[in-house]
Amino acid sequence: MPDTDLLIIGAGPTGLFAAYYAGFRGFRVAVVDSLPELGGQITAMYPEKQILDVAGFPTVKGRDLVEGLVSQAATASPEYFLDRTATTLTHHGDTVVVGLDDGTEITAKAVLITAGIGKFSPRPLPAGDGWLGRGMEFFVPSFAPYAGKDVVIVGGGDSAFDWALHLEPVAKSVTLVHRRDAFRAHQRTVDQVTSSSVRIVTKAEVTALRGNGVLESVDITVGDETTTYPAQAVVAALGFIADLGPLQQWGIEVEKRHVVVGPSMRTSLERVFAAGDITEYPGKVRLIAVGFGEAATAVNNAAVAIDPSAHVFPGHSSEGT
């Protein structure tokens, strides 16, 4: 039964920064994540994405941000439990015991939930049934496989437009298909894609993928008219279905699939804190930059639960420990 001061559930950017900060406060730290790699959604879906709203970086590629966070967290010597899901949480006196799906139990003096949107699965493309891995994908972890191909991207959110923008100079052609003529993506990215060579087809659906074992074309339907476009690759960027999973059975207060916290990042459960995209409170803004600040707030307030003689304010990092 591993023991630690702070157990962090979620190894995305917020969780990794929290691990560093726990080490800065002098605490032992363990990190659990259901994914097999560190970095959360960024590693799984957006390693090539240019991130524009992290302090100190005019722009930083997703994989580079994760690499920096992992190096920073390493100063705390965290113990990682990857490819494992936290399933149970119980209180035993002044400790919290979290059970994992492999039977491991971790006893901690405090728990910090930084699980983002929880476990997630991509929304399916009905016409793409049977094509996954044979020309259709849900993510674009690398641009190289799309070089010289006709690529069709389905969706109207940030992922769809980010991938369209980055694949445009690599692919032979890029066509973006969206069922509406309004988009959910950031306007700056929409403007960049609109002024590029990307073909945008709105009020449209991809109704068929065609090919003899290998994807060759897609049918795109607008109203009553269907047009066949060449395509050797389709990216279904239709968003994700989020699931908080076992966490919802812990008795924690949840609102619209998010964990309710107060100003100190405390949840409704004793010794359990939360930070990052999973949290909910009035005025909440879901950005990586906000998650970093919440992580520091959560760890500093958890410090008092871990060590009653500790102070919430740790002093400045430039002053050392």
Across 270-299, average pLDDT: 97
What's the pLDDT score for residue 1? 58
- For residue 154, pLDDT beyond 80: yes
Residue 16 contacts by C-beta under 8 Å, 6 or more apart in sequence? Answer: 31, 38, 39, 66, 69, 70, 72, 73
Percent of the chain with pLDDT over 90: 80
Extract the annotated binding site for FAD. 14, 33, 41, 46, 86, 120, 277, 318
Mean pLDDT computed over every residue of the chain = 93
For the chain, which domains are there?
Answer: 3-120+240-319 (3.50.50.60), 124-236 (3.50.50.60)
Residue 295 pLDDT grade (very low, low, confident, very high; cuts 50, 70, 90): very high
Across 17-25, average pLDDT: 97
Across 129-153, average pLDDT: 93
**CA angle in degrees (0–180, nearest 5) for 292-287-165:** 125
pLDDT digits (tens, 9 = 90+) for 58-81: 999 999 999 999 999 999 999 999
Residue 113 burial class via C-beta count within 10 angstroms: exposed 0-12, middle 13-18, buried 19 and up: buried
Retrieve residue 2's tokens.
């591993």
Extract the annotated binding site. 14, 33, 41, 46, 86, 120, 277, 318
pLDDT digits (tens, 9 = 90+) for 209-248: 999 989 999 999 999 999 999 999 999 999 887 778 899 8
Percent of the chain with pLDDT over 70: 98
d(CA 267, CA 287): 20
